[in-house]
Amino acid sequence: MEQCTDKAGKNSEEKKIFLDIACFFNGQDEDRVTEVLNSCDFSAIIGIQVLIERSLLTVSHGRLRMHDFLQELGWDIVRGASPNKPGKWSRLWLLKDIEHVLTKNTGTEAIEGIFVDSTKLGVDMDVTPKSFSMMNKLRYLKIENGNLPKGLEFLPNSLWILDWTRYPLKSLPSHFNPQKLLELGLSHSCIKHVQIGTEPLCNLKTINLSHSLNLVSTPNFKGMPYLEFLYLEGCIRLYEVDPTIECRWLKSLKVLNLSGCSRVNKLPNDTCHLECLEELYLNGTGIKELPTSTEVLEILTVLNFKDCKYLVRLPSSVGGLKSLKYLNLSGCSKLDQLPDELGPVACLEKLDVSGTGIREVPSSIGLLKNLKELSLAGCKARSPKSWNMMFDPFQLLRKRSHIQAGLSLPCLSRLHSLTELDPSDCNLSEDAMPNDFGCLSSLKSSISAEINLLDYLRASANL
């Protein structure tokens, strides 16, 4: 009897996985779907494998695929539970059904998921304050443009995924305490402060508040020990990252995106505990410098400072970023030098310093044996100006002899992996060019500098 019960339980779980994929996750990344289903206490790996063995599911290029016929079968199973009464279905995925339930307030505890793909036509409807009050088993809520003209009194604490694009209120309901929450997405929302209950959110892995123009502060991170992804791109009123990001236990963070947060002008001083950080996007921020503790970010692969107009220097600790593959400093007009010791950044594949004030590329760049792309476009070394020089032509002539005319390049012969080089608009002269360009056997393209670089290459190679 016990074996029959176990088998029935497994079949029930496999059925739920089948219906979740049919209604919500068909065509999505297998790893992400597995993670979501696991978080809902399903044995997702086993369940998905069983569905594959029964030819109910396939995997193609890392994505779960279900035949149209089987997907429609799943839809029919959901609808068949209570024909013509979507408020009693376990899953809602069509706009007309979701509108009916949320505007008429007909939802029941049978509903486990409401999912409208944001890439399709968005939802534009008025949601009542108590629309979710009976949905005590709701696991997934993903909608777009749901208006709340009279506010929102309730969100189910049972939620695993809350993804509400253009959420119209400044805060979440005060009694919302979703201790099982895995993903929080409120991009393009009106949210101002994010406070989620009073208990730790030990399952929370992703927060996406991108382009929320009213956001002024990030959440307190003390109760989010396993947070992995934090997206704050385009939050133009955000002025700081909460200091609790320095917390010793917040060491699961993999991606921090502050792109376009122009009011953020510094990072927390201590980044020692962000040991799992892989990608850091600071482009378009008001950042002036990096904390010296940056060197501990040993698995950081992406560091983006594009258009950081106030960035004046990089600490020497950047040399400790042993896994860094992509470093973008383009448009950092106040940055006039790179750290002398770039050699330890041996994994670097792409370096963009175009539009900076850099006058001289350090010789240690020759140690970057994996460097594939190097952009120096617009790195013009401009001579310093003063009132005396402007009005004293003799002084100007005297100084001109030892003022650097343009960007200076070191020996590049050891950059055997270099395939793309852009030295355009750098005031380069023949004297400033290294004589080893002909040794760059992997070079495929090079945008012409102010001198004819192609001719120079031929001459250097004695062609």
25 secondary structure, DSSP code: I
Q: How many CB atoms lie within 10 A of CB 450?
A: 14
In single-letter form, the type of residue at position 350 comes to K
pLDDT of the residue at 343: 79
Residue 130, helix vs strand vs coil? coil
pLDDT of the residue at 144: 87
Measured CA to CA, the distance from residue 423 to residue 332 in angstroms comes to: 17
Q: Could you tell me whether strands 302-304 and 326-328 are parallel, antiparallel, or unpaired per DSSP bridges?
A: parallel
pLDDT of the residue at 391: 46
pLDDT of the residue at 2: 44
Tokens of 352: 């963009």
For the four alpha carbons of 271, 274, 276 and 279, in that order, the dihedral sign comes to: negative
pLDDT of the residue at 14: 94
Q: How far is CA 271 from CA 239, 249, 321, in A?
A: 18, 12, 13
Q: How far is CA 354 from CA 38, 237, 248, 262, 303, in A?
A: 45, 28, 37, 20, 15
Tokens of 265: 């002008």
Q: In this structure, are residues 112 and 106 in contact, taking their beta carbons and an 8 Å threshold?
A: no
pLDDT of the residue at 449: 39
Q: Is residue 57 part of a domain?
A: yes
State the DSSP H helix or E strand holding residue 101, giving kind and residue range, or none if neither.
helix 95-104
pLDDT of the residue at 234: 97
Q: Is residue 20 part of a domain?
A: yes
Of 215, 216, 229, 221, give the one whose Cα is nearest residue 187. 215
Q: What is the pLDDT along the chain (463 residues), one digit of tens a residue?
A: 444 445 545 678 999 999 999 999 999 999 999 999 998 889 999 999 999 999 999 999 999 999 999 999 999 999 998 998 999 999 999 988 998 999 999 999 999 999 986 555 555 788 999 999 999 999 999 998 888 999 999 999 999 999 999 999 999 998 999 999 999 999 999 999 998 888 899 999 999 999 999 999 998 898 899 999 999 999 999 998 888 887 767 789 999 999 999 999 988 777 777 889 999 999 999 998 888 777 778 899 999 999 999 999 888 888 888 899 999 999 999 999 998 888 788 899 999 999 999 988 888 898 899 999 999 998 865 544 444 444 455 454 544 444 445 677 888 878 888 999 888 888 766 666 666 665 666 777 554 434 445 454 444 444 4
Q: Is residue 283 part of a domain?
A: no
State the DSSP H helix or E strand holding residue 75, giving kind and residue range, or none if neither.
helix 68-80
Tokens of 310: 């106030």
Domain count, the chain: 1
pTM of structure: 0.87
Q: In this structure, are residues 39 and 21 in contact, taking their beta carbons and an 8 Å threshold?
A: no
Measured CA to CA, the distance from residue 365 to residue 327 in angstroms comes to: 13
Q: Is residue 15 part of a domain?
A: yes
pLDDT of the residue at 290: 84
Q: Is residue 102 part of a domain?
A: no
* Domain hosting residue 49, numbered range: 2-76
pLDDT of the residue at 4: 42
Q: Is residue 271 part of a domain?
A: no
Q: Is residue 22 part of a domain?
A: yes
How many residues are listed for the chain in this entry?
463
Q: How many CB atoms lie within 10 A of CB 200?
A: 13
CATH number at residue 32: 1.10.10
pLDDT of the residue at 405: 54
pLDDT of the residue at 431: 63
* DSSP for 152-206, written as a single string: -----TT-SEEEEET--SSS--TT---TT--EEE-TT---------SS--TT--E
Q: Which residues contact 63 (CB under 8 A, 6 or more apart)?
A: 27, 28, 29, 30
Q: Is residue 315 part of a domain?
A: no
Beta partners for residue 125, in sequence order? 146
